[in-house]
Amino acid sequence: MTTSSHPNRFFLTTPIYYVNARPHLGHAYSTIVCDAIALRKRALGIDTWFLTGTDEHGQKIERSAEKAGCQPQDFADALSAEFRGLWRQLGISNDDYIRTTEERHKRGLQKLFVALRDRGYIYKGYYTGQYCVSDELYVDGAPGAICPDCGRVTETVSEENYFFKLSAFERKLLEFYEAHPDFMGPESTRREVISFVRGGLKDLSVSRTSFSWGVPVPGDEKHVIYVWLDALANYMTALGYGSDDPEDQARFEKFWPADLHLIGKEISRFHCVYWPAFLMAAGLPLPRRVRANGWLLFDQGKMSKSRGNIVRAETVHTVLGSDALRYFLLREIPFGQDGNFSFDALVQRYNADLANGYGNLVSRVVNMVHKYFGGAMPEAGAETPAETALRASAEKAIADFGPAFDELNFSEALKSVWSLVAEADGYLTANAPWKKPAERSEAEQTKLQARVLATAAEAIRIVTALAYPIVPEAAAKVWRQLGQGEIAEAAKLGFLSNLAWGGLKAGTKFGEPAPLFPRAEKDTAERMQKIEEENSKSAIEAAAKQSAASATPAAAQPEKPAAAVVAEQPKTASSPTITIDDFAKVDLRVAQILVAERIPKADKLLRLEVDLGYEKRQILAGIAQYYEPEKLIGRKIVIVANLAPRKMRGFESNGMLLAASLEGGSPALAGFLEEVPLGARLK
Ligand code: ME8
């Protein structure tokens, strides 16, 4: 069990993302953080391996594929390609990309499972309890219990499972946390995890038998391995764990254990409790650090597909470029805390710090070096107190940046560099090399211009080197303009490990000036907003087309509560004819209302939790004006079970209740006179 850091190699990972939906800015945030770290580590001369990938098994993916009407593998192929495409577009520098449906992963995962079993940590049992499919999490509680993580209704699982002896690791984990205070962070995560473990650990079910989309348990193929054990193992299987190939084995030996698992805060328990316990049980070294980023919020809530409040990284990339996005996320959000995303704030930061700040500084200096010195770096000559002050600021930025960045305080690290930008700007303005007072001779003027421009250019070089991991595209352009060649080549040679004032030599031929960050026009935020709106509109349309329930106007009008839509239907039977196949696409089912409650500040909506027999789910219905919630509990109703999920007032509705529309009166809920079993299909 080791967590001491190896000085010259670094293995870091993002979570592997579920392929149940397309990537959004929240996913991009974690990946960008890792990418910035990877770029800096490499530029420090550290042998770095940066892994990302996709989590493709489990009930959640199987169901998403089913809803989309395709095979899980096809579904995973399509969405995984979206993630890879986005990372390529954003210029992410990952060294590998693991998909849990790859052979290399399955082989490694099965080896880990066998190791756990052979070492006596796995036994067969029977699980009866609650399960949250959205979080792929076993939940303590009675049937109908709400998932503590996402608030959805859990499902009752009752099946033969393999169990992992997690309870045997309670003390060992607490001792490990104590001995390795740096293992997990930030402090809030550390406290939460420790209190979870202190609360007692029960053995964990690590296989499922009620569905098949997963990796089979070796020797007992009707079980598939629990998707979190499957997913966590990616960090080792991608390196080569479980492979017979000597090259893979060497990579695993070299890079395992991971130096940093970067995760979102909601998955700390899996990474800080289950994962180290699995590794202890298998006799493998534990990761050195796990760090949780906070949530990116948009419209008051965590940006997530189920809330429907997402922004896509592509939008920002198309309009302002990926450097702008990287800079904004790392500068604006203190790492570990939740942070608001808004287009206005993005544009404001972009203009202030990148267009008017760094970009403008570079453009002024490079242009003047071309204008006054034919594009060759002038000789600075002797320092006056102004140059000494700027050099001291640059040296302070170098000294402050590294420790702050390495502690993941990106915001602080960037502040220190951008205060150097501001100082260099002030220095330039104060010394105005473009002005020539009458009392100054030609020779004196040239000397001043040389000193000021050379000093400002050197400050720009320092800013650029430090900012490179955060704004790599801009840094590459500036590096060329300063006549330093390709920054990626310099990074390969570890140029950040010996960054010091004075690297820009007199006589160096500068490159051509090129724009870095064109000023964003007034309507930029609005434009991005519009792109997003258009996109979500087309996503809804696509979902509506795909959804079996697309024939109802409700699918295309997400804001309208289902029953209200029904009540607005034309009163005469004037609907166009459909075929039996069309009708067969609508999955109408009998359900029973378990919970019914009003939604604060929504006078028309009721939130219902309904039991379909085979699963429980939440639906919203626009019947609050007509029914007392208490009176609905226990009532059997009919729902459209395969309607695409829709979000209303922050709640997800997974289906639509059927009611007869009565002129001027309340809608009457569809029901039965005979006894009908839950989940029965209407056809
Ligand atoms: O949890 N703000 O996958 P996932 C910040 N497959 N980060 C966010 C975010 C937001 N609004 N939304 C998503 C899973 N993320 C599992 C992980 S790892 C072995 C298995 C980021 O698709 C954040 O890093 O739900 C979060 O942990 C991750 O995406 C969750 O992605």
Q: Measuring from atom 7 of ligand 1, which residue has the nearest CA?
A: 26
Retrieve residue 121's tokens.
């940590």
CA distance 301 to 342: 12
Q: Quick one: angle between helices 25-43 and 72-89, nearest 10?
A: 50
Please state the φ and ψ torsions of residue 520, each to the nearest 5 degrees.
-80, 130
Q: What percent of the chain has pLDDT over 70?
A: 92
Question: Can you give the length of the chain in residues?
Answer: 683
Q: What is the pLDDT of residue 5?
A: 57
Q: Given CA atoms 418, 420, 426, 431 in this order, what sign does their dihedral have?
A: negative
Mean predicted confidence (pLDDT) in 233-259: 98
Among the listed residues 224, 11, 209, 14, the one whose alpha carbon sits nearest the alpha carbon of residue 110? 224
Distance from Cα 312 to the centre of ligand 1, integer Å: 15
Closest atom, ligand 1, to C-alpha of 302: 11
Query: The tokens of 435 are what?
Result: 């002005």
- Among all chains, which residue has been given the structure tokens 């287009």? 343
Q: Which atom of ligand 1 lies closest to the CA of 21?
A: 22
Q: What is the pLDDT of residue 566?
A: 27
619 forms beta bridges with 608
Burial degree of 577 (CB within 10 A; 0-12, 13-18, 19+): exposed
Residues near 673 by beta carbon (within 8 Å), at least 6 away in sequence? none
CA 139–ligand 1 middle distance (angstroms): 19
Q: How far is the CA of 616 from the centre of ligand 1 (A)?
A: 24
Q: What is the DSSP letter of 502?
A: T
Is 302 a pocket residue for ligand 1 (Cβ < 6 Å)?
yes
Predicted pLDDT at 564: 25
**DSSP per residue over 15-72, as a string?**
EEEETTS---HHHHHHHHHHHHHHHHHHHTT-EEEEEEEEE--SHHHHHHHHHHTS-H
Percentage of the chain beyond pLDDT 90 is 75
d(CA 53, CA 19): 10
Strand partners, 162: 124
Q: Is 18 in the pocket of ligand 1 (CB under 6 A)?
A: yes
Instruction: Name the residue with the closest Cα to ligand 1, atom 10.
Output: 26
- Encoded amino acid at 78, one letter: A
- If phi > 0 it is left, if psi is from -120 to 50 it is alpha, else beta; for residue 120 that is left
> Under 8 Å CB-to-CB from 5, ≥6 apart: which residues?
259, 288
Pick the closest to residue 51 from 313, 312, 316, 232 (CA basis): 232
CB 591 within 8 A of CB 612: yes
Tell me, using a 6 A CB cutoff, whether residue 27 lines ligand 1. Answer: yes
Check residue 665 and give its pLDDT.
60
* pLDDT tens per residue, range 648-672: 888 888 999 998 876 556 778 887 7
In three-state secondary structure terms, 278 is helix
What are the tokens at 189?
A: 């995560």
Of 306-315, 530-539, 544-553, 569-578, which range is least confident? 544-553
Tell which one of 17, 29, 290, 340 to mutate to probe ligand 1, the residue whose CB is within 8 A of the most ligand atoms: 17
CB of 267 closer than 6 A to ligand 1? yes
CA angle 660, 664, 665 (to 5 degrees): 55
Q: How confident is the model at residue 149 (pLDDT cuts 50, 70, 90)?
A: confident
For 446-499, the DSSP string reads: HHHHHHHHHHHHHHHHHHHHHHTTTSHHHHHHHHHHTT---HHHHHHTTGGGG-
Q: Which whole number is the average pLDDT over 140-147?
A: 90
The Cβ of residue 126 has, within 10 Å, a number of other Cβ atoms equal to 10
| Ligand 1 atom with least separation from CA of 235 | 19
Q: What was the pLDDT predicted at 584?
A: 80
Nearest atom of ligand 1 to the alpha carbon of 294: 5
CA distance 402 to 496: 10
φ/ψ of residue 448, rounded to 5: -65, -45
What digits encode the pLDDT tens for the residues 431-460? 999 999 999 999 999 999 999 999 999 999
Indicate the pLDDT class of residue 552, thresholds 50, 70 and 90. very low
629: cis peptide before it, omega within 30°?
A: no
* CA atoms 620, 625, 629, 633: torsion sign: negative
From 59, 267, 275, 328, the mutation candidate for ligand 1 (largest count of ligand atoms within 8 A of CB) is 267
Cβ atoms within 10 Å of 417's Cβ, excluding its own: 24
- Ligand 1 proximity of 296 Cβ (cutoff 6 Å): yes
> Which tokens hold the place of 378?
């002038």
* Ligand 1: centre distance to CA 210 (Å): 26
Confidence of residue 624 (pLDDT cuts 50, 70, 90): confident
Average the pLDDT over 252-275 and give the result: 98
CA–centroid distance, residue 152 to ligand 1 (Å)? 17
Q: What ligand 1 atom has the least distance to the C-alpha of 265?
A: 27
The SS3 assignment for 340 reads strand
Cα 611 from Cα 592, distance rounded (Å): 5
Backbone phi and psi for residue 656, each to the nearest 5 degrees, phi listed first: -140, 135
CA distance 334 to 366: 33
248 pLDDT more than 80: yes
Q: pLDDT-based confidence at 162, cuts 50/70/90?
A: very high
The answer, yes or no, to whether the previous bond of 257 is cis (omega within 30 of 0) is yes
H helix count then E strand count, the chain: 24, 26
15 C-alpha to ligand 1 centroid (Å): 6
Coil, strand or helix at 298: strand
Tell me if 303 CB under 6 Å of ligand 1. Answer: yes
- The token pair that represents 453 in the structure block: 């421009």
Ligand 1 pocket, residue 30 CB under 6 Å:
yes
Report pLDDT for 497.
96
Stretch 372-376: mean pLDDT: 98
- The per-residue pLDDT for 574 is 45
DSSP 199-256: T----EE-EE-S---SPEETTEEEEEE-HHHHHHTHHHHTTTTT---HHHHHHHHHHP
Residue 257 or 677, more confident: 257
Tell me how far apart the alpha carbons of residues 338 and 336 are, in angstroms, rounded to a whole number. Answer: 7
Average pLDDT for 28-45: 98
Tell me which residue has its CA closest to atom 3 in ligand 1: 17
H helices of 340-384, in order, are 343-349, 360-373
Min mean pLDDT across 239-243, 642-646, 659-663 is at 659-663
- Quick: pLDDT tens for 351-366: 999 999 999 999 999 9
Q: Which atom of ligand 1 is nearest to the CA of 303?
A: 11
What 8-state DSSP symbol labels residue 311? -
The per-residue pLDDT of the chain, averaged, comes to 91
29 CB near ligand 1 (under 6 Å)? yes
In the reported structure, the alpha carbon of residue 295 is separated from the centroid of ligand 1 by a whole-number distance in angstroms of: 9
Q: Is the minimum distance from the CB of 28 to ligand 1 under 6 angstroms? A: no
pLDDT band at 52 (very low <50, low <70, confident <90, very high): very high
Residue 162 DSSP symbol: E
Q: Which of 540, 574, 569, 565 is nearest to 645 (CA)?
A: 540
Per-residue pLDDT tens digits for 459-496:
999 999 999 999 999 999 999 999 999 999 999 999 99
Where would I find the H helices in 256-351?
A: 268-269, 275-282, 313-320, 322-332, 343-349
- pLDDT surpasses 90 at 376: yes
Residue 27 Cα, ligand 1 centroid: separation in angstroms?
Answer: 6
Strand pairing report for 290-293 and 184-185: parallel
User: What distance in angstroms lies between residue 13's CA and the mean position of ligand 1's atoms?
Assistant: 12
